[in-house]
Copies of this chain bind each other. A is one copy, B any other.
């Protein structure tokens, strides 16, 4: 029989069984620390200390640190597509404007001190092993991103949609990374402009 561990903190649906509060505090703190300072850099002791809980509480809700990291990324994944869908919803039927809105937003986010890039990308760098629980989540997120970008490139009427979709993905990943590498004034602020140039050059004439 499967245990109750590693549940995905079911959103409160009315008066259903409320999820343990400790698990939420732990995940919130882990999210913040893992993202800002890296998964490997943070020990479970620091997480429970900052969350005001104790270590057994952590291991009652999460089977391991690796699985806690995976849960952090699943949360990240949900918020990621929320932001993505916001940009899409802002420009119905206009994929080029959708991309531009998403990229403009990314470009802005990168222009803060101590920007830390994409949690998914960072986790993949930290865990080269493809079977690591955190990396599994990360790779799935990136596959989905690639799928969407290629589809949008096709909807824009690109000559070679797969190439343009991949090009946009490269620009996006480049923005995430160079955002944290260069800080303020870095190349990431030019991501939307370059994407637009690339799109313009890739459309059927």
By a beta-carbon cutoff of 8 Å, the part of chain A in contact with chain B is 36-38, 40-41, 114, 116-117, 121-122, 124-128, 138-139, 142-143, 146, 162-167, 169-178, 180-182, 186-191, 193-194, 197-198, 200-202
Contacts and interface: CB of A to CB of B under 8 A. Distances in A.
A167 B122 CA distance: 21
A180 to B, nearest CB: 7
B178 A36 contact: no
A186 B139 CA distance: 12
19 contacts: A37-B128, A40-B40, A117-B125, A124-B181, A142-B178, A146-B187, A162-B190, A163-B194, A166-B186, A166-B187, A167-B190, A167-B193, A167-B194, A169-B174, A170-B190, A173-B173, A176-B177, A198-B198, A200-B201
Nearest to A183: B130
A124 B177 CA distance: 9
A175 B171 contact: no
Contacts of A41: 40, 126
Contacts of A163: 190, 193-194
A41 B135 CA distance: 15
Contacts of A171: 167, 170-171, 174
A123 to B, nearest CB: 9
A40 B126 contact: yes
B174 A170 contact: yes
Given A37-B128, A171-B174, A201-B201, A194 B181 contact: no
Among all A-B residue pairs, the 6 with the closest Cβ atoms: A170-B174, A167-B194, A166-B187, A201-B201, A174-B174, A173-B174
A169 B173 contact: no
A187 B180 CA distance: 21
Contacts of A175: 170
B128 A125 contact: no
A9 to B, nearest CB: 27
Nearest to A173: B174
